[in-house]
Amino acid sequence: MRSLAKKPLRADAAAGIGAGVVGLFFIIAIWTNLVFPAPVALGGGGVLTDPASLREHEWGFNQFSKGGPEICANQTSLNLNITLTNTGINFHGFQVIRADTGAFVAGLNKTDLLARGETRHINVDVSRIAPGSYYYICPVAGHRQKGMIAPFVVQSGC
């Protein structure tokens, strides 16, 4: 009886095994990228004040330059006007959370999600937010981890 180990490897079988190994490498690389994303560097894009304008990519959703510009909300002014434009392909939204606890901020409900090409004007009632450090994020699952997060500061004078 011939042993399987002594059987010569056919070229087509070898090519199949090679393609499988290459495919497995890519699957592991993609999995590693999803499970262990690179740390997010924040505030790389300057500081915005009222009226602020954010496009989807400035807003932070970019794998290669993570994090959007800081937004400074002047406590002494009543409103902060923000114009959101989704120049990306996916749905995106806008939400402010506390920097320390990550809790959502009352008085500023998250926007409903903007479709591709959509523009939305939001008016933040600054008097309803206590001075301090916050983040603005995209509430879509996984987008914050991919870089849709930047500092949002409420203080007297910007």
Residues making contact with Cu ion (CB under 5 A): 92, 138, 140, 143, 148
CB 91 within 8 Å of CB 115? yes
CB of 138 to Cu ion, least distance (A): 3
**Largest distance between two CA atoms of the chain:** 90
| Cβ nearer to Cu ion, comparing 66 with 92 | 92
Q: Which is nearer to Cu ion, 124 or 148 (CB)?
A: 148
Report how far residue 49's alpha carbon sits from residue 40's, in angstroms, rounded to the nearest whole number: 23
Q: C-beta of 10: minimal distance to Cu ion in Å?
A: 49
Nearer to Cu ion, 13 or 34 (CB): 34
Residue number, 77 or 91, with CB nearest to Cu ion: 91
- Cβ–Cβ under 8 Å, residues 136 and 150: yes
Q: Which is nearer to Cu ion, 97 or 126 (CB)?
A: 97
CA angle 49, 55, 57 (to 5 degrees): 115
Smallest gap, in angstroms, from Cβ of residue 41 to Cu ion?
A: 18
CB of 26: closest distance to Cu ion in angstroms? 25
CB of 28 to Cu ion, least distance (A): 26
- For residue 128, the tally of other CB atoms under 10 A from its CB is 10
**Nearest residue to Cu ion on Cβ basis:** 138
Whole-angstrom distance, CA of residue 13 vs CA of residue 32: 29
Quickly tell me which residue has 């500023």 as its tokens: 108
What single letter denotes the amino acid at residue 116?
R
